[in-house]
Amino acid sequence: MTIIVTGGAGFIGSNFVFYELKNHPEDRIVCFDKLTYAGNLATLAPVMDNPNFRFVKGDIAERADVERLFEEEHPDIIVNFAAESHVDRSIEDPGIFLKTNILGTQVLMDACRKYGITRYHQVSTDEVYGDLPLDRPDLFFTEETPIHTSSPYSSSKAGADLLVLAYHRTFGLPVTITRCSNNYGPYHFPEKLIPLIISRALADESLPVYGTGENVRDWLYVEDHCAAIDLVIRKGRVGEVYNIGGHNEKTNLDVVKTILKQLDKPESLITYVTDRPGHDMRYAIDPTKIHNELGWLPATKFDDGIKLTIEWYLNNKEWWKNIISGDYQNYYEKMYANR
């Protein structure tokens, strides 16, 4: 089987490429990625020579790029991770979020209709449900929770989800959607909270906490997310949405203090900064459906996952230092100049 992983040079997509090559050596994995600022080909260096793997540079919103890919690869399954993913950037400049996240999804699904596939899978987010109040810890997002977005990012992801469900109902495209909570783990781009705090704390730099730091996120170790998507694309019911999350709710301040403690750095590094406009208060997933239907449960508790993550950032300083210095963006030219 050939599986196209769009956005596979980013954080979760690269972890998914590694997961699939390790757990399904019978399958061919093709990563299709535009290599935006968030894509890093160096991340995929360990699998570049794997005969079951191919990297293709291209844009999901460019029909010609996508159709060439389908004509060359005749894929069975598309797993769409490619997206603009950072809420703060979507507040600065929403346009590219609409183009990649919504129009890119349309272009991919049009190619699926034209060439035929067995499954189109959309990697979505719990942010499409908006947020929950801090004083109602009894409330969780289920698949029935109404879509109610806050940021241009979450709105673009919600728009894409609705389009995916429309392509299923109107054209019979065999789709599935997963909506996952915040991920953390290896290869997380250092603009996001956890890697930002780790890299800045190691340099004894101030640690920006938005507002009061009371906002709650439901953290999931990235490998658990990959395992859930793997189950859904192989055994999930067509036309269905599955929420993914592991009941690991933490305030941002708790997360920052946990990292500081592990790194033996002082809490005086914490600096409260102006809050994010429209900042969602709390995300919390009810994963009953995926547990009951597919037997998925997260394997990694936050206390263990955060230790593994910190250890990874300590052992892979070159990876994130290259990103902070901007060097990684020359990697494609270096790798591909003579190919």
Q: For ligand TYD, which residue of 179, 217, 250, 282 counts as binding (CB under 6 A)?
A: 217
Contacts with ligand NAD by CB under 6 A: the residue count is 30
Catalytic residue at 327?
no
From 19, 120, 153, 283, active-site residue: 153
Whole-angstrom Cα Rg for the chain: 19
User: Quick one: 92 or 135, whose CB is closer to ligand NAD?
Assistant: 92
Q: Count CB neighbours of 270 within 10 A.
A: 17
DSSP-assigned letter for residue 102: I
Q: How far apart are CA 45 and CA 273, in angstroms?
A: 37
From 127, 161, 230, 280, active-site residue: 127
Q: How far apart are CA 140 and CA 143, in angstroms?
A: 10
Closest-CA residue to 299 (of 243, 251, 227, 235): 227
Q: Is 209 in the site for ligand TYD (CB under 6 A)?
A: yes
Q: Phi first, then psi: what are they for 143, rounded to 5°?
A: -65, -20
- At 262, list the tokens: 């592990």
Smallest gap from Cβ 36 to ligand TYD, in A, equals: 16
Residues 223-252, interacting with ligand NAD (CB under 6 A): none
Q: How far apart are CA 81 and CA 100, in angstroms?
A: 11
Residues 16-45, interacting with ligand NAD (CB under 6 A): 33-36, 38-39
Residue 148's contacts (CB-CB under 8 Å, 6 or more residues apart) are 129, 130
Side-chain-side CA neighbours of 310 within 13 Å: the count stands at 20
Q: For ligand TYD, which residue of 119, 192, 225, 250 counts as binding (CB under 6 A)?
A: 192
Binding-site string for ligand NAD from residue 159 to residue 188, where x marks contact by CB under 6 A and - marks none: ---------------------x-xx-----
Q: For ligand TYD, which residue of 149, 215, 243, 300 counts as binding (CB under 6 A)?
A: 215
Judged by beta carbon distances under 5 to 8 A according to partner kind, the member of ligand NAD, ligand TYD, none in contact with residue 13 is ligand NAD
Catalytic residue at 275?
no
Catalytic residue at 242?
no
Smallest gap from Cβ 116 to ligand NAD, in A, equals: 22
CA distances from 326 to 40, 59, 82, 196, 261 (A): 11, 21, 21, 15, 29
Residues that bind ligand NAD (CB under 6 A): 6-7, 9-13, 33-36, 38-39, 59-61, 81-85, 100, 104, 123, 125, 157, 180, 182-183, 189
What residues are annotated to the active site?
A: 126-127, 153
